[in-house]
Amino acid sequence: MDRNAEELVARVRARDADAFETLYDAYHRLVYGVAMRMLGDVAASEDLTQAVFLKVWSTPELFRGGNFAAWIVRVTRNRALDTLRSRSARPESELPESLPESDSIEDVAFAHLNAASLRTALEQLPREQREPIELGFFSGVTHEEIARQSGIPLGTIKTRIRAGLRRLRAMLDGVVTA
């Protein structure tokens, strides 16, 4: 899929609308799904999906290779964070920083996983590890805010996030090699 995506993006750079449409068909559910999870609002999620894809169309060179799905998830999350920031009364210094979009994520081993198997793997994580990871990724709050809201010490939250990610990684490695 992602080797194919790289070729499609190259065609989009040459202003090929058909290639863009193919890219949209392959990835719009991913963008919209992340937007809905973060914003919980159909209109805002559609607007965000439109903004992300028009950004792909207007500046395809922002994608510098690697796993396209991983890249577009980051772009979507960062855009959704902008929306959450605009809704928040908290100062920006207390809000999480956007994920870097220029990093190229190379992990072809994961490219064949589908959303259902990923959701299953996430559900298998212990709740105390899954919740801070999902809150950190989707909710636009810092780990300090997660600790404050849950009443759990900050160090414990950090350790659980790391342990959860490592465990998830090990589980998904198992899925790939199975």
Partner 1 sequence: MNAPHESMLDDVAVYAVGALSPTHARRVRDHLASCEACAAEYAALAPTVALIGMSQEACPDAEHGAVTVSPLLKARIMRRVRSTSQDVLPRSGRSSRSLIWPAYLVAAACFAIAIFSTLLNLSLMQQLKSSQTQVSAAQNRSSSLARSLVDERTELADIASGQGQRFAVPGGQIVRVRHRLYLTLHDLALPAHGKIYQAWTLPKGSKLMAPSTTFVPDSHGTAIVALPVNADITSAVAVSVEPEGGSKQPTSKPILVQSLE
68-97: which residues touch partner 1 (CB under 8 A)? 69-70, 73-74, 76-77, 81-82, 85-97
Name every residue whose Cβ is closer than 8 Å to that of residue 161 and which is 6 or more positions away in sequence: 129, 132, 133, 136, 143
- HSE (CB half, 13 Å, CA atoms) of 70? 20
Closest distance to partner 1 from the beta carbon of 71 (Å): 8
First CA to last CA distance, the chain: 20
Residues 5-34 touching partner 1, rule: CB under 8 A, are 15-18, 20-21, 24-25, 28-30, 32-34
Contact with partner 1 (CB under 8 A): which of 1, 3, 13, 58? 58
Nearer to partner 1, 7 or 21 (CB): 21
10, 22, 65, 98: which one binds partner 1 (CB under 8 A): 98
Q: Which is nearer to partner 1, 98 or 128 (CB)?
A: 98
Determine the Cα–Cα distance for residues 33 and 80; give it in Å rounded to an integer. 12
Closest approach, Cβ 152 to partner 1, in A, equals 14
Number of residues that bind partner 1 (CB under 8 A): 90
Q: Are 5 and 23 in contact (CB under 8 A)?
A: yes
Q: State whether the Cα torsion 37-38-41-45 is positive or negative.
A: negative
Max CA pair span of the chain? 52
33 vs 65 by CB, closer to partner 1: 33
- If the CB atoms of residues 8 and 168 are measured against partner 1, the closer one turns out to be 168
Report the candidate in 125, 135, 127 with the shortest Cα–Cα distance to residue 165.
Answer: 125
Using CB under 8 A as the binding rule, whether residue 134 contacts partner 1 is answered as: yes
Q: Is residue 67 within 8 Å of residue 22, measured between CB atoms?
A: no
Pick the binder of partner 1 from 3, 4, 46, 153 (CB under 8 A). Answer: 46
**Main-chain phi, psi angles of 103, to 5 degrees:** -65, 140
Q: Which residues in the 136-165 window bind partner 1 by CB under 8 A?
A: 136-138, 141-144, 146, 155, 157-159, 161-162, 165
